[in-house]
Chains A and B, each alone.
Chain A
């Protein structure tokens, strides 16, 4: 047995022990490639990491927005189902929505929230690591991330009534029951607290950093204030939003640049139209990021959803400045169109199929200046500045002399209706409540200007709540059902405000 202890064996055992020590104890030994993914320790090292992470968060809205628009249209009075609609869409239209409905899942909103939390937690360290990234950049990116997160929370609570407040970035599974759930009103307070520290003061000297494709924090906060009924603050913030980035006359003002025939170009490559489009979510079919709306809307595809006659009639009854009939620049040919070979009585929504050179790739606009202008008009109407509100709605300030105080840089503003050559709306003499009448005009204008863009259902809920009158909403929505019994049933259902919310999938 002595031979066991000969030198060669020792060498061999020694070699094995050495292998053991050098390899398996070291974590690097087990580093191996895993394709298209990187781990936390490889990430958040420089400004580029911050940018691509931020864009990653914004890209998640691709998952949310198509359904958001479908649900908005079907719940409101703008869309109805066609014969070929599937069971899930039909059940939304018929207000018979189960929580398993594939169009109403809310996970996309939380994905934005968690991803934003993840980025917010980690980007501070980049200041130390990359000298091209300073605290000012960091503040701008944080503002942008918080805006997207707040957008997700705000829209979630408006649709579902309550939301879980996600405290962290979910680097492991937090028990769901430990997450605080808060309602719509409390959520708005929370979001005001989140957003307010990141609102840029236009009056101050510090230059406002532009983060690519960010949601304008001022616009979002203004919208929240408007929803909450704080009109003074809403006016302040919405106006500030329109006057962002140095208050250039062409930036975010409703000017003639997308006027008349050019109006349709807002919806073609919206992502790049950054004078009027404030934030948009691009889709590109070739990258496997298909905008499915074309499938649902276009008669060439599944054609499951069509515009209601209500919205079509509304477009067609507009009066042009030359007294011609019809909203020719926003209506037929832009927002909707007739299905060929159907004797002009079948319509389809064409807003997402305007660019025929690319398929399934229409961008979805999140915020554009017309939206903010009309929200501002709505708020101004409530603060008593009704003339200003009507100016924004109608022909703008370019012809006004002098322009109202604080609106000096609005020299190119042609107004929402002025841009598309429509006759100004006026309040007839003897109207019982001119304030409400003007508000109705503004909301009606929003329906046309922002048709099929995911705004209408929220407008109806906001006004009905403000007026404490569910019939405001119920009347309008019930009107789209041809079957009177069905219309009555829906009307009754909608008279209960609790029924406005979507069920939360458990």
Chain B
């Protein structure tokens, strides 16, 4: 599969009509164009390259020396140079009579790559706005499980944080920064022309898990990915966060072909955190018992095993030295198979691909398996009328335990906090022999992590269906009419059982069962008329007028049951005790969106480009007062390299300046419901009742983001070195904020457009290639940065100046002049060395502090640590992020590496909060060995306080860490063995190692972790499954 064929198919699809002209151009005189076609780097001549003149259709071929001659009508025309295996080049003569043409191998990025955009393709050199693409070759090179991973580090500007190392898990995605509090922050995802919603998957019952909606398409089926970052207002209120545009592979040749790939591998154990061993824990436990008020005699009486009394009843239960992380983590086995069939003739073509993958998890019973099927094709009913059906299906099964902040059911937290004195399986009290059953909670009141994963595990079974039919009718050479109708359907069943045995009881529940079923459905239509026309002298015009319609519905039903007779009964409806505490929850939401748009593109002589968009749309989310909105955008580009003196510089192939301005809206939010007066239904005793829920804001408007983008594209050394720089200045107007109203309004929450946010984003990407006879080395990097600043926050309550939001005890603040959602809490300054200093301070829990307690910074010097002393203590947003990549090809070998990095982002390390809190009988990190005591008064680690009633563990900068990291994400070696049989076309074997090392100061499992897809969870690490190292070996075979 090469770019060449893609190019041909694009012509046949007629999505871009630049190459069609209104024929009848008269030839006034004969001018001969001469030139030479060469391979860059090696400077070898390329023979049999086809040169064709667009205006006349004249064709010439290069000779052995790579030279050609061809008749052209004038020197203001365009020619195309084709050679299989290389990107076709389209060259505007710009007055030249002799051309030295370098063709770039189609596996490398070049200016003539066709970039796939929602309204058709454009060659890269003609792009007016900021678009990044990933090389097809790069996508397929490494065995990533989902698309978002293949974007990470390779595309400038897009910030991607994998939620966890669990394979079927969603990633946080934003382009150039967070731009909304209540609306969507992820980019619009378009797969084969269909808008693919992603945010419905955020609600689930397995804590910390949300399914990856991108799994609808297997990475190996993807032909191209374009990330469009600005200037595209024709998506109106749907696209303020940019667009990720994905096309699956289409058939590109008429002969039948089969390709097959398979890999297998193992995931290694994650690096462990250092926790206390049995001896250290015993000492700590003794101290905690003293702190809890027990005398030495009490302790001896209660816990005789603590002093090693072999005859005591529970001696064997509490006399182990278990490394719980060793017990929990296991090697995981990966496998994947994918087969791709294509065939057909001039009338109809088809592509069928099917794949199966299964990744084991890092603990017992965890796994992810997925089956993908894709069928697409093209049926030419007449030579003007074609129908393109497209069907994708995926079935994904995820099995895993909770990953949230509750140590009672998150096995990773439990493994850290569980005392090493206990063992995974119960022991015979007399003989000490290990029994089959898992052991219980024990006196330390920590769940047994093995019990969590062995006896109770969550499952998510997801059925995903995405299909569309695109009918295209070519009215004339200039006009194409198309209409796409499609359905996106997702059905998901999620279940979770928390057993009684081995787990700390939830309130009222010994065991509990949770079930969720949801269905998402989106029907869409997209109809458009595309008009293209090439005017003489290289001037092209195209215009599109289109209509889009989208109707979504989302419905879920959830049931929660508790206290089944025993852990063998695991279904809803089997709960016994407190069965009146069973709950059922359901919701049902819909969205209708209708949009009209028009786009005009005009290019003059390969030098000046202008594009203007206008769309007008309405959405059901808003009231009729604010429903309809216009969204304009303008893009300009100027190819300076076509102007003198640059035009005569051989080295400089391309130098282009771009500028764009556009406005987009952000319609995805249930907050807009508050624009209407509504009543909510509720049960109350035996009655159904209706309640007012809020004061409506009939003037609530859609959030609008206007972006000014300026960019530079430079390509030199025969396109072997490329630079792209972009600057964005975005202003989010109408930023929806929650006003906390004074009591007199009764209802506390009121949403209005009280905020304005400004975001400055910069991105830079560089790639270069050194090409010598036997080896090619390509390398590059991306650097991105964004700074957001709240420009305006208008509060109804004049005394307010900031919004403080609390989630799981973590506070975020949003205030003028700062980014959205900064960590907000107490600053600390070591510990109090003695009582003299401490006693005068009233701590955060209203009690006087003592020696060895945390010294909170008393910002206002009133000797009371309270709300007024809180400050911004961290920023979860990165300062810089991106990736570095390098590929070295030597003969039949290829070595490639991808690094990703994020610098300057802060993380709330909840693992450490729990494992250094020293307030219960939990096991702790070894860092507490250095805690304050009378002979170690200088320590920053406070003394152990059972119950922590003075508040040493409150949310403070003690738990905020620098989450910067540099990770060697992937390292791949591939090899093409000598062809030993005519039965196949190509064979490649490869080995990939992932997450090989991470350079970071962060002390949790993995700095790359995101609790749930919501900006209020940015930078929270509750102990999710880390991205573990893995090694995979595979083959790719084409028949």
Contact = CB atoms under 8 A, between A and B. Distances in A.
A110 B475 contact: no
B618 interface: yes
Q: How large is the interface on A (under 10, 10 to 19, 20 to 34, 35 or more residues)?
A: 35 or more
A260 interface: no
B971 to A, nearest CB: 48
Interface of A is mostly: helix
A389 to B, nearest CB: 37
Interface string B847-869: 00000000000000000000000
B1028 to A, nearest CB: 39
Interface string B891-932: 000000000000000000000000000000000000000000
B44 interface: no
A173 B479 contact: no
Given A6-B475, A32-B620, A287-B684, A171 B677 contact: yes
Interface stretch (A53-61, A315-323, A477-485): A53-61
A385 interface: no
Contacts of A504: 743
A107 B745 contact: yes
Contacts of A90: 846
B132 to A, nearest CB: 33
Interface stretch (B229-237, B416-424, B575-583, B975-983): B575-583
Interface in A75-109: 87, 90, 105-109
Nearest to A363: B685
Nearest to B698: A172
B681 interface: yes
Contact of B475 (A3, A32, A271): A3
B774 interface: no
A106 B743 CA distance: 6
A27 interface: yes
B744 interface: yes
Contact of B744 (A31, A59, A176, A358): A176
Contacts of B698: 171-172
Contacts of A13: 529
Interface string A20-44: 1001100101111111111110010
Contact of A171 (B590, B685, B696, B748): B696
Contact of A3 (B476, B578, B624, B692): B476
Nearest to B796: A173
A111 B747 contact: yes
A441 interface: no
Contacts of B32: none
Contacts of A110: 743-746
A136 interface: no
Contacts of A9: 475, 479, 481, 529
Given A19-B547, A23-B594, A87-B845, A56 B689 contact: yes
B690 A43 contact: yes
B689 A284 contact: no
A49 B690 contact: yes
A108 B620 CA distance: 32
B190 to A, nearest CB: 21
Contacts of B596: 20
Interface in A447-491: none
A107 B588 contact: no
Nearest to B739: A173
B525 to A, nearest CB: 9
Given A36-B587, A56-B691, A114 B742 contact: no
Contacts of B679: 37-40, 43, 53, 56
Q: Which of B583, B681, B690, B750 has the most CB of A within 10 A?
A: B690
A179 interface: yes
Given A33-B589, A37-B673, A114-B747, A55 B687 contact: yes
A166 interface: yes
Contacts of B750: 173
A171 B697 CA distance: 8
Contacts of B529: 9, 12-13
Contacts of B770: none
Given A3-B476, A171-B696, A173-B796, A59 B624 contact: no
Interface string B961-1004: 00000000000000000000000000000000000000000000
Contact of A359 (B508, B583, B670): B508
Contacts of A59: 682, 684, 689, 691
A506 B742 contact: yes
A56 B692 contact: yes
B198 interface: no
Given A43-B690, A59-B682, A107-B747, A4 B696 contact: no
B592 A30 contact: yes
A505 interface: yes
Interface string B688-706: 1111110111110000000
A164 interface: yes
Contacts, number: 187
Contacts of B687: 52, 55
Contacts of B547: 16, 19-20
Interface string A143-186: 00000000000000000000010100011110010010000000
A87 B687 CA distance: 37
A285 interface: yes
A33 B589 CA distance: 5
Given A33-B589, A289-B684, A170 B689 contact: no
Nearest to A33: B590
B866 to A, nearest CB: 9
Interface string B600-639: 0000000000000000001110001001000000000000
B684 A170 contact: no
Q: Which of B596, B620, B624, B692 has the most CB of A within 10 A?
A: B692
A170 B695 contact: yes
A171 B678 CA distance: 10
A176 B670 contact: no
B1039 interface: no
Contacts of B581: 285-286
Contacts of A395: none
Contacts of B682: 56, 59, 287
A288 interface: yes
A111 B747 CA distance: 6
Contacts of A20: 547, 596
A207 to B, nearest CB: 24
A420 interface: no
A373 B693 CA distance: 37
B933 interface: no
Nearest to A118: B692
B745 A172 contact: no
Nearest to B694: A170
B481 A12 contact: yes
Given A52-B689, A55-B687, A36 B680 contact: yes
A31 B676 contact: no
Given A34-B670, A59-B682, A170-B695, A8 B743 contact: no
A111 B846 contact: no
Given A32-B551, A114-B746, 20 more contacts: A3-B479, A12-B527, A23-B549, A27-B624, A29-B594, A30-B619, A31-B592, A38-B679, A53-B690, A56-B679, A59-B684, A90-B846, A109-B743, A109-B746, A271-B685, A285-B580, A286-B580, A287-B683, A359-B578, A505-B743
Interface of B: 473, 475-476, 479, 481, 508, 527, 529, 547, 549, 551, 553, 578, 580-583, 587-592, 594, 596, 618-620, 624, 627, 670, 673, 676-685, 687-693, 695-699, 741-748, 750, 796-797, 799, 845-846
23 contacts: A16-B547, A20-B596, A31-B592, A31-B620, A37-B673, A37-B693, A39-B679, A40-B679, A52-B690, A56-B682, A106-B743, A107-B741, A107-B745, A113-B746, A114-B745, A170-B746, A176-B742, A282-B685, A285-B580, A287-B682, A359-B508, A505-B742, A506-B742
Q: Which 9 interchain pairs have the tightest Cβ spacing? A: A32-B590, A110-B746, A111-B746, A30-B620, A286-B580, A87-B846, A33-B590, A56-B691, A107-B743
